Structure 1
C-alpha cells in the first residue's frame, strides 16, 4: 500500500485562521504534503483565497466578494476572528500562495468556488496563474460545479481535476472518466470499502474531505485512499504513519 497524502484543509484550519498565509505555513510545519484552498473572484477580477462567497464570517468586514475590489478586501482583518494572535492577517491573492509554494514538492488542491456565484472567466484566470508560476504539475483543481471541470479540461486537457461530491455516486470512477476527471473528492462518510476498491481497480485516486477525528483518519487510511483533507495535518500524519507501519 502506498503511503497516503495528508492535505491541509484551508491550510491548518484547526490551528490558524483558514485560508491565510499563516494557516498555509502552519500546515507545512505540521508535515502536510498538500494544501487545499478555495478561490473566489473580486469585483475587479482578482483571484482571492476565501471559502465563503462573502467576507462576513472570516473578516471584520462584510459584503460579497464579487462586489468588493481587491483593495477593499485587503484592508480587512482576516485573523482576529480566530485569535488575537493572528490580528492583521489578510485574505491572500492566489499568486501569493503560488509564489510561496513554488519550488516545493507540495500538492496544491484548488477548489473553484463557482457553484453559488458563477464567476465568468474563473477557470481561465486560475489556469493562467498556474502557468505563470509553473505550478500546473503540482496542482489538482476541484469543484462541486462539474461543468467547471469540463471547462478546465477544454482549456487545458493536461490539467488534473477532481470531482467534489457529497452523496454516494454509483460507480463514481465511471462518472469521473466520462467528464475527463482524474480523481474523486468525496465527503469522508461516503467513502466505503467497495468504493475504494472499485476506484483502485479503475486507477481513480480518492482524496476525501474533511477528516478530523483519529478513528476516522485511521479507518479511511486503512481502506487505501490516495489522501485525506484535514483541519489537523499533524493528526493526519500520525494516523498515516500508524497505518503505513502496519502494512
Structure 2
C-alpha cells in the first residue's frame, strides 16, 4: 500500500479553533496537509470559514453570502467554552493559499454553498488558484465542482459523501475525480462497487482510534482527521509491523 495522505480537518481542529491560523500552524507542525473551507462574501471576497451562517462562532446571526467583507474583517470568532480563543479572526483565503504554497503544505479546499449564490464565485476562486500547486477541490455540491472543472480542467475534484448515492448517479458525474467518504459509509462493499469507476477515495471523520485503522483498504488514498498526529502515529506503527 502506498503512503497515505493525511489532511488536518479545518486545520488541527482537535486542538484549537477550526479554520484559523492557529489551526493551520498546528497542522504544519504535524507535517500533514490541511483541509479548509472557503466561502465568498457578497462583494466577492473569499474567506476561510465553515458555516454558511456566522452565528455559531461569532454570535452574529448573519449569512456570509449576504455580508460584505468589511463586516467580517474585524469580527471576533471563538467558542464560549474556551475564553482564550475569542480573539481569532476569519482568515482571508488568498493569504492562507500563499502561506501554504510557501510552506509546501498540500491543501484540500472545500467549496461551500455561498459560491453557488455569487454569480462570479467559481471564476473568482479559479483566478486565485492560478499558479497554486499540490491542492485539490472538494464539495458536497456537485454543480460547484462541475463549474470549477470547466475553469480548471487539470485540477482534481472530490465529491464529499455522508451517505451512499446510487452508483449510476456517481458514474454520470464524469467531472468528479475523487470521492471523500464519511467513515460511516467507508466499507469494503462500497469500495468494491466503486472499483470500476477509477475514482480516488479518501475517508473523513477518523479520529485514529477506529478499528478500521488497523486494516486500511488498499483503495484508500487519504484520511481527513481532526487529530492528524494520532492518525500519522497509527499509520507509522502499522507500517512497522
Normalising by structure 2, what TM-score? 0.89
Q: What is the correspondence of 1:150-165 to structure 2 with a 5 Å cutoff? A: 150-165=146-161
Q: What is the correspondence of 1:122-133 to structure 2 with a 5 Å cutoff? A: 122-131=121-130
* Structure 2 alignment gaps of length 5 or more: none
Name the residue aligned to 2:17.
17
Name the residue aligned to 2:75.
76
Write the distance in 1 (CA, Å) between the matches of 2:240 and 2:216.
Answer: 11
Q: Is the 8 A contact 1:12 1:232 kept in 2?
A: yes
Q: Is the 8 A contact 1:176 1:182 kept in 2?
A: no
Task: State the shift of 1:192 in Å.
Answer: 0.9
Deviates more, 1:98-107 or 1:190-199: 190-199
Q: What is the correspondence of 1:204-215 to structure 2 with a 5 Å cutoff? A: 204-215=199-210
Name the residue aligned to 1:175.
170
Task: State the shift of 1:244 in Å.
Answer: 2.5
Write the distance in 2 (CA, Å) between the matches of 1:167 and 1:42.
Answer: 29
Write the distance in 2 (CA, Å) between the matches of 1:171 and 1:24.
Answer: 35
CA RMSD between the two structures:
2.4
Write the distance in 1 (CA, Å) between the matches of 2:229 and 2:23.
Answer: 13
1:190 matched to 2:189: no
Find runs of 4+ consecutive structure 1 residues off by over 6 angstroms: none
Q: Is the 8 A contact 2:65 2:117 kept in 1?
A: no
* Structure 1 alignment gaps of length 5 or more: none
Question: Residues 167 and 70 (structure 1 numbering): CA distance in 2 closer, same or farther, change over 3 Å?
Answer: same
Task: State the shift of 1:85 in Å.
Answer: 3.1
Task: State the shift of 1:106 in Å.
Answer: 2.4
Deviates more, 1:100-109 or 1:184-193: 100-109
Name the residue aligned to 1:218.
213
Q: Is the 8 A contact 1:80 1:88 kept in 2?
A: no
